[in-house]
């Protein structure tokens, strides 16, 4: 079966990288090895959608940080983490940090093949989700700082009067902001604007 799926192997152990590259090529995947977490994170901006296999014991940085950055920046790269001698707490932390699965080293060939086969079919939905979030971030980036602040306040309070009081402006001015924001983003209901704001992971990363 030719999946055409890219797999990014982030592991400081050269033997592990070499073995997985050979194994996955035989299974018709497209493996790309990374010796450091820093190299992988720097490449996130131009990598194709796929699956990442990230070891938590990297030579240059904490693998958990690499996991978090992958999850925050690329929803269309499914992260799987690996580690030798890890405890349950580490596995739970990795799953909470965005990992789709946790594999303890040494990993048997059949196990990694089964895991990749399980997640590869999910790539299309992940790609669509990433596209939606990216589009949301682009729309939100067209707003002024004041418009963004008004949006955040409306998301929190859901009340024109409270927002007007907070910014010391009139309710009519708040309503004008709402109309202008809807026009910029291209929706007919302000509830859709608030949904876009609350559901946009890319936007939350930008304002955190």
88-140 residue pLDDT tens: 889 899 999 899 999 999 999 999 999 999 999 998 888 887 777 777 777 87
CB 82 within 8 A of CB 11: yes
Q: Report the chain's mean pLDDT, rounded to a whole number.
A: 87
Q: In this predicted structure, what is the pLDDT of residue 200?
A: 58
- 141-207 matches 6-124 in CATH topology: no
Q: In this predicted structure, what is the pLDDT of residue 58?
A: 96
**pLDDT band (50, 70, 90) for residue 208:** very low
Determine what percent of the chain is predicted with pLDDT higher than 70: 91
Strand order, beta sheet including 77-84 = 30-34, 6-10, 50-55, 77-84, 101-105
129-179 residue pLDDT tens: 777 777 777 787 888 888 888 888 887 888 899 999 999 999 999 999 988
SS3 51: strand
Of 47-61, 68-82, 145-159, highest mean pLDDT? 47-61
Q: What is the rounded average pLDDT of the residues 65-78?
A: 91
Q: Is the dihedral of CA 38, 42, 45, 49 positive or negative?
A: negative
| Domain residue spans of the chain | 6-124, 141-207
CB 52 within 8 A of CB 78: yes
Alpha-carbon gap, residue 132 to 128, rounded angstroms: 6
Alpha-carbon gap, residue 92 to 88, rounded angstroms: 6
Alpha-carbon gap, residue 130 to 121, rounded angstroms: 16
Second-level CATH architecture of 141-207 = Orthogonal Bundle (1.10)
Q: In this predicted structure, what is the pLDDT of residue 186?
A: 79
For 101-139, the DSSP string reads EEEEESPPHHHHHHHHHHHGGGHHHHHHHHHHHHHHHHH
184-193 residue pLDDT tens: 887 777 777 7
Alpha-carbon gap, residue 192 to 197, rounded angstroms: 9
CB 94 within 8 A of CB 40: no
Superfamily of domain covering 6-124: Response regulator (3.40.50.2300)
Q: What is the rounded average pLDDT of the residues 74-95?
A: 90
Q: What is the rounded average pLDDT of the residues 57-68?
A: 94
Q: In this predicted structure, what is the pLDDT of residue 38?
A: 96
Q: What is the rounded average pLDDT of the residues 46-75?
A: 93
The CB-side HSE value for 177 (13 A sphere, CA atoms) comes to: 22
């Amino acid at each position: 079966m030719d999946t055409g799926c890219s797999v990014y192997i982030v592991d400081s152990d050269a033997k592990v990288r070499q073995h997985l590259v050979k194994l996955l090529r035989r299974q018709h995947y497209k493996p790309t090895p990374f010796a450091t977490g820093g190299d992988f994170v720097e490449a996130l901006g131009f990598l194709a959608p796929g699956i990442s296999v990230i070891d938590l014991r990297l030579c240059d940085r904490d693998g958990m940080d690499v996991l978090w950055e992958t999850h925050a920046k690329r929803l269309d790269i499914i992260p799987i983490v690996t580690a030798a001698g890890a405890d349950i707490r580490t596995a739970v932390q990795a799953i909470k940090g965005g990992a789709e699965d946790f594999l303890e080293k040494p990993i048997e060939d059949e196990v990694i093949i089964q895991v990749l086969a399980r997640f590869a079919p999910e790539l299309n939905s992940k790609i669509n989700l990433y596209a939606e979030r990216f589009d949301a971030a682009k729309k939100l980036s067209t707003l002024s700082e004041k418009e963004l602040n008004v949006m955040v306040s409306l998301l929190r309070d859901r009340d024109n009067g409270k927002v007007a009081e907070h910014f010391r402006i009139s309710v009519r001015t708040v309503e004008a902001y709402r109309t202008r924001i809807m026009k910029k983003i291209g929706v007919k209901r302000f509830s859709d604007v608030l949904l876009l704001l609350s559901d946009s992971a890319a936007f939350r990363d930008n304002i955190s």
